[in-house]
Amino acid sequence: MSRPRIAVLNAAHDPEHNRRNFRRELDADLVEFDVTDVEVPPEVEAFDGVVVTGSRVSVYWDEDWIAPTREWVQEAIEAGLPCLGVCWGHQLLADALGGEVAGMGEYEIGYREIQHRGESTLFDGIDERFTAFTTHSDEVVTPPPGAEVLAENDYSIHAFRKDRVFGVQFHPEYDTETAREVTLGKDLPDERIQQVLDGITEENYAKACEAKLVFENWLGIVDDLRQPETVVGSDTADPAGAD
């Protein structure tokens, strides 16, 4: 079978880090669209899955590109495409499905411990308590109706699933270069910035590499859905729920 064809909706205004990181971590044929330039795929049928990246904006801001991106994502969901959202993408998918996203009133940033519930294919092979790099001041405060919370920590919901749609608040794709640059770009007290920078070590990065398995696991779900014998409405058509 050929590699899956994945639409990557790149929501970063400076997309180079996203481009490098997702191309390194996703073993698939990626077609990137700069949604901040109001660029979305012409048709959902051309793809096997959708990834929505992080962004520096909030999903509830009045930016001219957010609504068209949300509408295209809703179309992809309705067409049955498996979707994976990371950070802002996690929030956009939740919003598109009827969940609620709001400001936290604080920042979660740095390598943090997160706990998953061990009930989803998305977290196969990942310890119940795992480390990942986080950077966000918004959160999914109310999951979409019918969604299942898969992971969380003291700050927020860190993963959810509804049917073929998955969101993760943390950044499994980050390398240390990205973590440092993103941290230095935050409008936070110097002491807080330095504390986060001090934690961006090879040791912590090595711990966080376990979380990269979400990409492999999600692509496995995509591949299962591409099998010729898959019948819509059967258990095979929704392997993510067969745990």
Token pair for 55:
């962004």
Is 171 among the residues known to form the active site? Answer: yes
- Helices 16-25 + 176-184 axis angle, to 10: 150
How far is 122 from 161, CA to CA, in rounded Å? 9
C-beta atoms surrounding 190 within 10 Å: 7
Q: Is 173 a catalytic residue?
A: yes
CA-based angle 172:173:178, to the nearest 5? 115
Q: What is the DSSP letter of 171?
A: B
Residue type, 194: Q
Q: What whole-number distance in Å separates Cα of residue 52 and Cα of residue 97?
A: 14
CA dihedral 79, 82, 88, 90 (to 10 degrees): 110
User: Cα–Cα distance between 147 and 166 in angstroms, integer?
Assistant: 9
Catalytic residue selected from 32, 108, 152, 173: 173
Indicate the residue type of 99.
G
Packing angle, helices 190-199 and 176-184, rounded to 10: 180
Q: At 129, list the tokens.
A: 């308590």
> How many DSSP H helices and E strands does the chain contain?
7, 9
What secondary structure letter does DSSP report for 241? Answer: G
Pick the catalytic residue from 17, 83, 87, 158. Answer: 87
Instruction: Just list the catalytic residues.
Output: 87, 171, 173
